[in-house]
Structure 1
Amino acid sequence: MIRLFSILLLVGFSSVCVAQSYEIVQEDDGLTVHFDGKLLTRYLTKSGSKPILYPLLGPGGLPMTRQYPMEAAGEHERDDHPHHRSVWFTHGKVNGTDFWLEKDGVGGLIIHEKFEKVTDGDTAQIVSLNRWETPEGKVLCHDRRSITFGHDEGRQYFDYDVTVIAGEEPVTFGDTKEGAFGIRVPGTMKVDAKKGGTLVNDQDEKNKDAWGKKSAWVDYYGPVKDKTVGITIMNHPSSYGYPTHWHVRTYGLFAANPFGIHDFVGKDVKSGDHTIEPGKTMNLRYRVLLHEGTTEDADIAAAFARYEKVKK
């Protein structure tokens, strides 16, 4: 492995300082992020049909996402939904192409083009550029995703900000529940494991009652090994569709989706389709907070109140 900041100097990126807290290392398949010498996550440029974060480690170095399909299924994990890859961003209907499912010759591909910026130190940031291709090789759009790592009252978080950029033709993110910013939690944490796993939104709607609802945040907590830990996705007020609808399932899927209106609300409402005109953009902005204990223990409402004040 080669220290990334050395590589950046060679290829013309801005110089960076020796890491004080975060260190990012270049590897053949992407980037590895360490915090105080310990693995936090890896940015994989290609896993299945898209870039992902895996693994993602939380308090005490515990895994915060399921192992499958990147590795063999872990405790209480099922080898289902191979497109649910740890932490990802895709959508099930983009100009009619399905980027959510992974089907050879049928689904679209999100292809990593380059890292535009990588910095480490007291905070860390990864900025990547990706193109969205149909099975026939037609480029529908690009996205620029910025992942910024930091701390909130001693707890790790990362801001996952995506700008979708239309090309010479309009691009439409269609009305379907299969999207968009997703996480699949560990098997022991999921509600269906019946080990104490719980998902809850900002209206205190829990488990199945939270599916499809609008909320500024959703928290999913439960046991991993011998500790109760949680993972929260927060939606920034400047994000398209705020407050977003949520495609959250008791079997462990956890996704923010502002587009799937007909699935979430019903057919008698306006379509959730959103079209980006040529050369224009759409911004989706989320914070993922890793915490110990329950939603109440972690005071997620207060954590969101701090996040919503961040200027984007």
Structure 2
Amino acid sequence: MNKLFFLAVILFLNANIKAQQSTGFSIEEKKDKKEVEILFNNKLLTAYCYYDSSRKPVLFPVNTVDGITVTRSYPFKTVSGERTDHPHHTGIWLNYESVNGLDFWNNSTAIEIAKRNQYGTIVHQKIINKKTKGNTASLTATAIWIRSDNKILLHELTTFNFSVNKNDFIIDRITTLTAADTTVIFKDVKDGMFAIRVARELELPSKEKSSFIDDKGNITNVPPSGADVTGMYYGSTGLKGDSVWSSKGNWVMLTGKKDGKEITIGIIDHPMNVGYPTYWHARGYGLFAANPLGRKVFSNGKEELNFSLQPGKSVTFRYRVIIHSGNFLTSDVMDKQAVNFGKIK
């Protein structure tokens, strides 16, 4: 009888230990896959990925707390019915189209070898810190922005702060860029800077077939959407839909339905960022980006900002992403989130 009681106690304690281990955030680094997985209650929320093919570190995939993937899978995975345009749109990322004349934004494995000297690459260096505590976690990594000849233009230090609050998965990205031994100029251009490419279902409905040509002559054909495409943009200034593109504001949210659930993705600018409030490069086909440094194209030539960093000088960019499942978030909720985020230095 004593043995049975003792065994029951051991089993009870083991069950409690396992339950505690499965509660809250955990971080698993998988160097062989070049991934750092961010899990909540043992379920993947996202992963910090530094694949050679991505030409930059990204968060991929990005899931809701209840397991719905909100990011497009291409080019890392093939999903039936999903668009295969813009191979450089991968997960959540931060880079820019013109840095000392080099295109970091459009770089991908689709670029011809003969043209690769026109592009820049962000190369992950190391994970320097990772912490978890209940419903919060943080990951800090370093990277370098390099030319095709491996000349370093920028040193990057990025911290991701993750948190879960009920049905909200919140990602705060704080990135400090420091110029190496040369002046770095971010030319005023359209494509940048902090972005997510969303799943097909979260795009804005469109019956039009479109083609996009970047400044290197690469053509991307975009087909019409189907009935399952349900997205809609809402800006902090009251604009909605395609009108959000080229607008200024401290936040934009994208709503839509996927896997039978209502999804909201919100991106919030920070008052300390250069160019605040940012212009929004929010496209109906699924690109959702804040571009604080591109002013000319969005303002029809009324503004221009060619931002520069002298050698050894730094600039920090701060952004919040809210991934919500359940009833669509309201403008009031986004306003409160923006106020709270603005208090973080």
TM-score by length of 2: 0.81
Unaligned runs of 5+ in 2: 1-20, 206-224
The answer to whether the aligner puts 1:141 opposite 2:151 as a matched pair is no
Residue 99 (structure 1) aligned to one of 101, 104, 108: 104
Alignment CA distance shift 1:190-1:154 (3 Å): closer
Verify the 8 A CA contact 2:274 2:293 in the aligned structure 1.
no
Q: How does 1:222-301 map to 2 (within 5 A)?
A: 222-269=256-303, 271-292=304-325, 293-296=327-330, 299-301=333-335
Report the equivalent of 1:183.
196
Deviation at 1:240, TM superposition (A): 1.9
Match of 1:120 among 129, 132, 135: 132
Distance in 2, matches of 1:191 and 1:59, equals 23
Match of 2:234 in 1: 200
Amino acid at match of 1:63: T
CA distance in 2, matches of 1:226, 1:117: 37
Q: Does 1:23 align with 2:26?
A: yes
Aligned-pair CA distance for 1:156: 1.4
Deviations 1:178-231 (A, max 9, x none): 111110111011113454310111012112111111111110110112111011
Which stretch shows the higher mean deviation, 113-122 or 93-102? 113-122
Per the alignment, in what secondary structure is the counterpart of residue 98 of structure 1?
coil
Farther off after superposition, 80-89 or 285-294: 285-294
Is structure 2 residue 228 aligned with structure 1 residue 215? Answer: no
Amino acid at match of 1:54: F
- Taking the TM superposition and a 5 Å limit, the aligned residue runs for 1:78-89 are 78-89=83-94
Verify the 8 A CA contact 2:47 2:59 in the aligned structure 1.
yes
TM-aligned CA deviation for residue 136 of structure 1: 2.1
TM-superposed CA distance for 1:243, in Å, is: 1.0
Report the Cα distance in structure 2 between the residues aligned to 1:207 and 1:59, rounded to whole angstroms: 26
The CA deviation at 1:131 is 0.5
The verdict on how the C-alpha distance between 1:283 and 1:225 changes in structure 2, with shifts beyond 3 A counting, is: same
Gap change, CA 1:156 and 1:70, over 3 Å in 2: same
Name the amino acid aligned to 2:141.
S
Q: What RMSD in Å do the two structures reach over aligned CA positions?
A: 1.9
| One-letter amino acid of the structure 2 residue matched with residue 94 of structure 1 | V
Cα distance in 1 for residues equivalent to 2:331 and 2:150: 48
**Cα distance between partner residues in 1 of 2:230 and 2:88:** 26
- Which letter does structure 1 place at the counterpart of 2:283? R
Q: Deviations over 1:163-190 (max 9, x none)?
A: 1111121111111111111101110111
**C-alpha displacement of 1:306:** 2.2
Residue of structure 1 in register with 2:41 after alignment: 36
Amino acid at match of 1:172: I
Distance in 2, matches of 1:154 and 1:94, equals 38
Q: Give 4+ residue runs of structure 1 displaced > 6 Å after superposition.
A: none
Instruction: Give the TM-score of the pair, scaled to structure 1.
Output: 0.89
Distance 1:153 1:244 in 2: 29
Q: Could you list the per-position Cα deviations for residues 50-109 of structure 1 after superposition, in whole angstroms to 9, with x for gaps in the alignment? A: 11111111142000111111111444x210000000111110000110001122423211
Aligned length: 293
Pair 1:34–1:239, CA change in 2 (3 A): same
Match of 1:50 among 45, 56, 61: 56
Segment drifting more, 297-306 vs 43-52: 297-306
1:24/1:32 contact within 8 Å kept: yes
Question: Is 1:166 matched up with 2:179?
Answer: yes
| Aligned counterpart, 2:66 | 60
Q: CA deviation at 1:38?
A: 0.9
| CA distance 1:255–1:67, change in 2 (3 Å) | same
Q: Give distance in 2, aligned partners of 1:244 and 1:44.
A: 26
Identity %: 32
State the 1:152 CA deviation: 4.3
